[in-house]
Chain A
């Protein structure tokens, strides 16, 4: 099977760069130091109290998982938002567009290269996650679920980045736009739910009713909860909560209790499907706009 030329070139150039080796080294060094400190504190605790807190070993898993997720969400847009606009700035995009390469092949090559680069970093941290298995509490199924979440989140953030890169002429503008949309997706949906939940709780009639009936009526953020389906951080937290229930209280319950339903019962699957659909939409926009000159470019 023919390898995508853009992907091949990106990987070749990336392999020659010192940047990737440096990111992997620094990232894994931090994780390793934190893991060793965590184990050391557990051992010291056992020596002092003679009480083995097995649950505390799961803190390590949570920490590593959180760091990796945050890194994915921060680094993916940074890597992808300069891809198409960078080619425009270097004036190499026109050369590629005059060849037999299709727009979707260019976008796919760029996205795949960023995706593989990112996952090289994630996979390189597996030895640290493996330390958790020494004490138990986390299954391969949990790790697989977390990996699926990473894949979807990376695709989401990457597609968003590449979409902005295709839409805007300058890489700096594309990067700012990608982070702005991502912040709106993550923080914005939380904020909307918080606001909606606060308004519901402040409703005087409801408040009086609740006080009179000692919580007989449930108050929640209403339909705004479903905006959290587009939020990869919520998906991640729901998975993390199931994996390590002792440390994270239900994120979905933070905005009021609800009756179980199809979406609530299969939140992870539904949210991943929604995020994949959005990723596909971003990808399509990127493909459609790659031949355009980009917003901010003179005719």
Chain B
């Protein structure tokens, strides 16, 4: 549906985008994640036509953005809400409908349908500058959908909204996805993206660091998470000696009876390690890999590579 190849953008001496590749599958809800300054908003502004890329190609449904009329395919919800004074909700919508050459009965029907979908039918005669932020953001979403675009691009749309409004907004997005819209959403609230998105792309320093379906990514996250070993009684010294000598162990953190191990081996290697510990006579009450989260992966990708630390103590001394 939306394909980006080798996107480059430079502001002065600062290379914001450095050959960004991105593929958003049709009908997906694509989470676009990255730290501040990674190039998310720049990418989005290039996609919607507000900025020109120095290099690269953007394709929508067989059309190249540089040549096609991509505005017809894209709806844009920025992280702000532009307010006009003295303009009512329906007039605001009519104005943007007219910007897409939609007028008369067709436009009015579409506006009413969208206001109903967003739960704003009772606000149609309100002035837009008097609406709350949550309502304004829903109106902004309705505005972006006025021309029935195939792709909807949202730049941190839930920033600054209260939890209930965020939940409602999320539900609307799910509904839109079910209607077949392809949605790209950039956000810092990673936990929300994890349960909302079907696909995720993590951008760092102007490049796509990781991309794929949410299931694939979460399974990667799980394998990169630490193993927590809980011991019973004495035997920690012996357990630590075994762990230190293991080639797949990168870091060890001791917290009381718990040993937290960053272990890069697969399931087979995990089983072998457990077997070694049990064979050494160490009493183990649990041996589990921590559940992964998008946040941990995000931190891992966008942070600096962790140095190999064999031992780290917390609330303990002398080992």
Question: Contact residues of A with B, CB < 8 Å?
Answer: 2-3, 5, 8-9, 12-13, 16-17, 87, 90-101, 291, 299
Contacts and interface: CB of A to CB of B under 8 A. Distances in A.
B86 A16 contact: yes
B217 interface: no
Contact of A100 (B48, B91, B101): B101
Interface stretch (B72-80, B158-166, B250-258): B72-80
A167 B48 CA distance: 22
6 contacts: A16-B86, A91-B78, A92-B83, A95-B143, A100-B69, A100-B101
B66 interface: no
Interface in B131-180: 143, 147
A215 B48 CA distance: 71
Q: Could you say which of B50, B82, B101 has the most chain A C-beta atoms within 10 Å of its C-beta? A: B82
A2 B76 contact: no
A98 B71 contact: yes
Q: Could you say which of B11, B12, B74, B101 has the most chain A C-beta atoms within 10 Å of its C-beta? A: B101
Given A5-B98, A5-B99, A95 B12 contact: no
Given A95-B96, A100-B101, 14 more contacts: A5-B98, A13-B86, A90-B82, A91-B80, A92-B84, A93-B82, A95-B76, A95-B82, A95-B143, A97-B49, A98-B50, A99-B96, A100-B147, A291-B50
Q: Could you say which of B48, B83, B98 has the most chain A C-beta atoms within 10 Å of its C-beta? A: B98
Interface string B31-64: 0000000000000000011100000000000000
B103 interface: yes
Contacts of A87: 82
B237 interface: no
B76 A92 contact: no
- Is chain B's binding surface mostly helix, strand, loop or mixed? loop
Nearest to B72: A100
Contacts of A12: 86-87, 91
Interface string B86-115: 110001000110111101000000000000
Interface of B: 11-12, 48-50, 69, 71-72, 74, 76, 78, 80-87, 91, 95-96, 98-101, 103, 143, 147
Contacts of B80: 91
Contacts of B12: 299
Nearest to B78: A94
4 smallest CB-CB distances across A and B, nearest first, come from A92-B82, A5-B98, A99-B99, A91-B82
A45 to B, nearest CB: 49
Nearest to B45: A94
A233 to B, nearest CB: 34
Nearest to B83: A90
A97 B91 contact: no
A16 B85 CA distance: 10
B125 to A, nearest CB: 14
A17 B49 contact: no
B87 A100 contact: no
